[in-house]
Structure 1
Amino acid sequence: MSMDIQQLTDVINQFVTDKGWYAEGSRYPQTPRNIAVSVAVEAAEILEHFQFGDEPKDRQAIAGELADVANYLFQLAYLLEIDLEQAILEKLQVNYGREWV
């Protein structure tokens, strides 16, 4: 099944809602700051797979870490009301115009 960014974001938000994490008084407040921290933590977990080598030993495990980063990233964009798809396209356009040293 293929989904676009908005559809994935909707699925992620439904999961977070179902878990009660958007509810007032949640043990896991879904604030932009907390989600931004989670993006960084999960991104660091990707690095563990490359700590002592150039290739990950467990591709399924690293796929899970990449999914964690994407889930938090999509949720952060949602919380900040950023159209992530548009932001990606705009950033690519900027990068096409950059000089790479």
Structure 2
Amino acid sequence: MITKTQLLNEIANELSQEYKGMTKKAIKTIASSILNKISEHLQNGEDIRIIGFASFRVRKKKGDKIKVFDFETAQMREITLKRNIITARISKKAR
């Protein structure tokens, strides 16, 4: 398994040799920004398709029912938690 830091370091090392004018710090900032934007859009429930890599789809599912205490009515009531499940479909090129 590779961590985000390791991935950013690999990207920075590879691209700093190809693009001599860019610093490793600038490349890490750009790559980190891309990953953060992908995460942000998935959290907002949007699907993402990166051609040649993967498609990410957000599925909304009902979660478990739990009992909570309602302070306004001073009674217990049951609520259903909602869950977002992210599925990834890897493209044939990336396999």
Q: Work out whether the TM-score is over 0.5.
A: no
**Structure whose CA Rg is larger:** 2
Which protein, 1 or 2, shows the higher relative CO under an 8 Å CA cutoff with sep ≥ 6?
A: 1
**Structure richer in strand, relative to its length:** 2
1 or 2, which has the higher helix percentage? 1
